Amino acid sequence: MVAKIIALNGSPKGSNGTTIQFVKYIQRKYPEREIRIFHIAQKLKYYENNMGAFQELIDEIQSSKGIIWAFPLYILHVHSNYKRFIELIWERGVENAFKGKYAITISTSIHFYDHMAHNYMQGIIDDLDMKYFGYYSPYMLDINDFEKRQNFIKFIDNFFDGINRKVPTPKKFTPLKYREFEYNPGENFKVIEC
């Protein structure tokens, strides 16, 4: 069974970024698979201001079996445009398009606090009720190393196998519980004058 996979690129460099080269490598290794790339961080304003384009993207996500969240790391975290896209998911009420989809995260960096971004993304994935299948965090130039590419392909094979076998995945983070709260300040009993 060949499942459609959507790659959400979090690099403002679009198709020229380092991280997306790993996704393109997957496309070359698995030409029989439908892997569609959307340059979220580069085209954020387009998706933010064009409801038709945003809905087309959400429809693609809805019809997929898996999501690759691919992003470079910028000072310990994902790019702000990627974060804004994540906000739009809840603002526009399209969380259900992600529910039940298998997900992985791929980042490239110089290996400085990568775990912070992956924990953040896993929290988002858990909040979206997706099935998180792990992360791959190579050094920026690892795409040029044969052995490291082989390790990457093993990771991707595991992801595809998990989708095909419908492997259950545990959540790491508990869901947020929203509550009604209204702040009512107390009376100011004493004014301090200087």
pLDDT digit string, tens, across residues 94-137: 999 999 999 999 999 887 888 899 999 999 999 999 999 999 99
Q: What pLDDT, on a 0 to 100 scale, did the predictor assign at position 100?
A: 97
Contact 105, 135 (CB under 8 A): yes
Going from N- to C-terminal start, the domains of the chain cover 5-165
Q: What angle do CA 71, 58, 66 make, to 5 degrees?
A: 60
CATH topology of domain 5-165: Rossmann fold (3.40.50)
Comparing C-alpha atoms, which of 98, 162, 126, 117 is closest to residue 10?
117
Res. 1 pLDDT band, cuts 50 70 90: low
> Structure pTM?
0.88
